[in-house]
Amino acid sequence: MPAVQSRFVVRTFATLVFFSVLAGQFWRSLFGWWGYGAIALVIVVSSVVALVKLNPDWMWSRFPKSLIAFLGLATLSLAWSFYLGASLIGVTLQWATTLAALFLALCLSWAELLRTLAAALRWILALSLAFELIVALFVRQAVLPFWVDYGTRNVPESYYWTRGILLQGGPIEGIVANRNLLGFVALMAVIVFAVQLAAGTVSRNWGLAWLGLGAFVLLLTRSATVTLAAAAVAAALLFALWARRRPPEGRRPVYLVAAASVVVGGVGLVALTPQLLALLGKSADLTGRLDIWRSVAGLAAERPVFGWGWVSYWAPWVEPFEGLAVRRGVVYLQAHNAWLDVWLQLGVLGLIIFAAAVFSTLWRCWFLAVDRPRRALADTEPYAASALLPLLLLVALIAQSLAESRILIESGWLLLVVLAVITKRQQATNQRMP
């Protein structure tokens, strides 16, 4: 019984970790930065304690080398950082998020990981819809985050917690205060709930209900970024299922068609950008992203090799970030492209290492999804369904990284580390087995 109770505590804490990184803005809007900091501190300390007490079976030799190199370079950049104080904060946050990710990857079984992630996603979706409904029915006006004083100036629309327009059909921001973030959470929920349904780990009726809710929230966010990410996930799923039906030596057509699809899709995306933007309700400058990208690229070119120093979230109170990305009174704290952000902060060297970390993980996720290993990834779930999840989640993250920098911070970085570690462990397990 004590063992059962301890696993319940571990799973409950894991759900809190997933909830807090996916909906960090909920805590910040509710309790302010100091309250959020206290919650984050508890999570990081508890993660370290769990790693020590549970003593997971792990060898550092199996830790993804590219992730070690990226974290090492980010830490080493303190030596040449243009903004040492901000870099100290950024590096600390990067390591803190990594420690929470290691707790999830090393202390939970795959079945527990999937279960706790699904639970956190359900909480975010349910609370977001309840929050939007309460505001729309009773408050009937836009709501600002608590503990923030904007004075008497006009508050930009994007600073509101929610605009309260659920009954007008949205778009909605939910508890995460951003429709792109809520849309990505909804996309993840659709992926996870679909995998659970296919694996038979949830009842069919409840599974379909939550899957429908995830799709409903996804539609209400009207996020163009997430729409494109969903298309990429659908394409990855189709190619993975096709590859599964062919032996390893007969997959050349799959790879040729996939490569051609990427080229044709990229060319088509560029050629049809104006029509796609009009269809998705976006401005010709991608909601100001083109200006931000030009500014970031110009700044990165001044220190192209090693960058300006790691900072994670931009620090708007220091140069060169002060005034770097301001649009309609909104101060942006990211480059809205993870690859540009890495080039800016860690230079070409950091970009190469980051690409190695992402695409080596994608490589492992792909073969985990299409090849049945000698021992299944999941403990009790049907392998065919659960093994697709790392690939689909990572494809969604990569697609999002072209328009957002979330893969470098909070939930994006945590998920990347978790996927990198669990696929590396699975690879090592398969290689050891006769």
Neighbours of 406 (CB within 10 A): 21
Question: What pLDDT score was predicted for residue 290?
Answer: 84
Structural contact between residues 180 and 280, judged by C-beta atoms closer than 8 angstroms: no
Contacts of 180 (CB under 8 A, 6+ apart): 221, 223, 225, 226, 404
End-to-end CA distance of the chain: 36
Count, residues in the chain: 434
Which pLDDT tens digit goes with each residue over 46-66? 999 999 888 776 666 578 999
Average pLDDT for 406-412: 95
Which residue from 122, 324, 125 is spatially nearest to 206, judged by alpha carbons?
122
Top pLDDT among 200 and 23 is at 23
The SS3 assignment for 83 reads: coil
The pLDDT value recorded for residue 159 is: 84
Whether 111 contacts 378, CB under 8 Å:
yes
Cβ neighbour number for residue 336 with a 10 Å cutoff:
23
Q: How many CB atoms lie within 10 A of CB 301?
A: 10
Are the C-beta atoms of 166 and 136 separated by less than 8 Å?
yes
Can you give the pLDDT at residue 65? 93
What's residue 376's pLDDT?
A: 45
Q: What per-residue confidence (pLDDT) applies to 380?
A: 41
> With b meaning 16 or more CB within 10 Å and e meaning fewer, what string describes 155-193?
eeebebbbbbbbeeebbbbbbbbbbbbbbbbbbbbbbbb
Return the amino acid letter for 139.
Answer: V
pLDDT in tens, 415-425: 999 999 999 98
Determine which of 174-178, 368-372, 410-414 has the lowest per-residue pLDDT on average. 368-372
Closest CA to 357 of 402, 311, 423, 263: 423
Break the chain into its structural domains and give their ranges: 1-55+111-222, 61-107+231-434
- The string of pLDDT tens digits covering residues 272-311 is 666 666 666 666 556 678 888 999 999 999 999 999 999 9
Specify the pLDDT at position 374: 42
pTM of the model: 0.93
Tell me how far apart the alpha carbons of residues 116 and 189 are, in angstroms, rounded to a whole number: 12
- Please give the DSSP secondary-structure letter assigned to residue 315: -
Cis-peptide into 171, omega within 30 deg: yes
Q: Which carries the bigger pLDDT value, residue 382 or residue 70?
A: 70
- Cβ neighbours of residue 406 under 8 Å, at least 6 residues apart? 181, 184, 334, 338, 397, 400, 412
Cα Rg of the chain, angstroms: 21
Distance CA 7, CA 108 (A): 9
Average pLDDT, the chain: 88
Residue 431: band (very low, low, confident or very high) from pLDDT cuts 50, 70, 90: low
Q: Which two tokens stand for residue 145?
A: 């985050």
Tell me the per-residue pLDDT of 227-275, one tens digit each, with 9 for 90 and over.
Answer: 999 999 999 999 999 999 888 888 999 999 989 988 887 777 766 666 6
CA–CA distance, 71 with 401 (Å, rounded to integer)? 18
pLDDT band per the 50, 70, 90 thresholds, residue 382:
very low
Name all contacts of 8-16 with Cβ < 8 Å and 24+ positions apart: 10/50, 10/54, 10/107, 10/108, 10/112, 11/108, 11/112, 11/115, 11/116, 13/46, 13/50, 14/103, 14/104, 14/107, 14/108, 14/112, 14/113, 14/116, 15/116, 15/119, 15/120, 15/123, 16/43, 16/120
pLDDT tens, position by position, 113-168 = 999 999 999 999 999 999 999 999 999 899 999 877 776 567 888 888 999 999 99
CA angle 234, 172, 189 (to 5 degrees): 35
Structure tokens given for 11 = 């799973």
The confidence band for 328, taking pLDDT boundaries of 50, 70 and 90, is confident
| pLDDT at residue 34, rounded to an integer | 92
